[in-house]
Amino acid sequence: MPHSLLTPLAHHAQDLLSAVRRDAPLVQCLTNFVSMNYAANAVLAIGASPAMVHAEEEAPEFAGFAGAVVINIGTLSSPWLQSMLLTAKAAADADTPWVLDPVAHHATAFRRDAIQRLLDLKPAIIRGNASEIIALAGGLSAGKGVDARDAVAHAEQSARDIATQRQTVVAVTGETDYVTDGARAVHITGGSPLMPRVTATGCALSAVVGAFAAVSRNDAFAAAVAALSCFGIAGQRAALHADGPGSFAWRFLDALAALEADCLTRESPLR
């Protein structure tokens, strides 16, 4: 993206972080067992309020007043899928933006069917690794389970195709992230090689994307860019003093909480 367009986008990201901190939006997360604690802490660190509400008996109702909904299929089961489908529909009916994290959606027939049903309920943003996005577009990925084996650059065309066909925003995360709505696109640098060595950093990112979607209802692209920019800067800062994945995990949460809004322009990772 030309530099003349990156500067306003960075300023918009700065404004959105200020809005998250000011409004503390309620982010409903239907996420996996592995990521619940870390994702909730990441949402708190960025300044929003997490609600890990997933039961079919209450999750759809909750979506009606949440600021955003995040659906992550990491530890999928039939009861959870039913709740996810009802909650995504309720979110759409209430004009609540919702984020889809298609964890290992290509691994089994159950997951492949689930992801198609969820896609039909029109997520505002899809956040996945390169292998997940390539497979989501119908391509042949090298992914194995939840692990990405494809470069982000190889997923860019798939991301654009999905964004255009589904009228959504697609965020592909990896060494250099890529975000597109089919018309606009941007690369985001930063982060650390330690991030994929900590369980639930990707899931936590999807939850934080939800926080930004809640304060940017008219521009999901800007929301995804702002969230990934925060993760990129925080990851880079946390890695400076981390001795390994264990110390990185808590340093990263501290770095998220310590982000100054203007760092998104001073240290902009947008390319």
- Interval 215-244: pLDDT, tens: 999 999 999 999 999 999 999 999 999 999
pLDDT at 139: 85
Residue appearing with tokens 């322009």 = 265
111 labelled as ligand-binding?
A: no
Cα distances (Å, whole numbers) of residue 129 to 41, 101, 161, 255: 21, 9, 16, 23
Amino acid at position 13, single letter: A
In this model, does residue 73 exceed pLDDT 60?
Answer: yes
More confident residue, 214 or 140: 214
Cβ(225)–Cβ(41) under 8 Å?
Answer: no
Cβ(87)–Cβ(59) under 8 Å?
Answer: yes
| C-alpha torsion sign, points 30, 35, 36, 40 | negative
pLDDT at 165: 98
pLDDT at 146: 53
52 labelled as ligand-binding?
A: yes
pLDDT at 263: 97
Cα distances (Å, whole numbers) of residue 265 to 100, 229, 239, 270: 28, 10, 20, 9
Could you read off the pLDDT of 99-110 as tens digits, one per residue?
999 999 999 999
Mean pLDDT of the chain: 95
pLDDT at 150: 86
Could you read off the pLDDT of 24-62 as tens digits, one per residue?
999 999 999 999 999 999 999 999 999 999 999 999 999
Task: Collect all residues with Cβ–Cβ distance below 8 Å to 154 and sequence separation of at least 6.
Answer: 130, 134
185 labelled as ligand-binding?
A: no
Instruction: Work out the pLDDT band at 145, boundaries 50, 70, 90.
Output: low
What DSSP element (H or E) covers 45?
A: helix 36-46
pLDDT at 2: 64
Per-residue pLDDT, averaged over 11-21, amounts to 98
Per-residue pLDDT, averaged over 147-171, amounts to 93
Q: How far apart are CA 89 and CA 215, in angstroms?
A: 20
Q: How many helices (H) and strands (E) does the chain have?
A: 11, 8
Q: Which two tokens stand for residue 233?
A: 């800067």
Q: Identify the three-state secondary structure at position 51.
A: strand
Q: How far apart are CA 176 and CA 3, in angstroms?
A: 17
Q: How far apart are CA 88 and CA 270, in angstroms?
A: 31
21 labelled as ligand-binding?
A: no
Q: What is the pTM of this model?
A: 0.95
Instruction: Work out the pLDDT band at 140, boundaries 50, 70, 90.
Output: confident
Query: What number of residues does the chain have?
Result: 271
**Within 10 A of 1 (CB to CB), how many other CB atoms are there?**
12
In this model, does residue 77 exceed pLDDT 60?
Answer: yes
Q: What share of the chain is helix, strand, coil (3-state, %, to 5)?
A: 50, 15, 35
In this model, does residue 181 exceed pLDDT 90?
Answer: yes
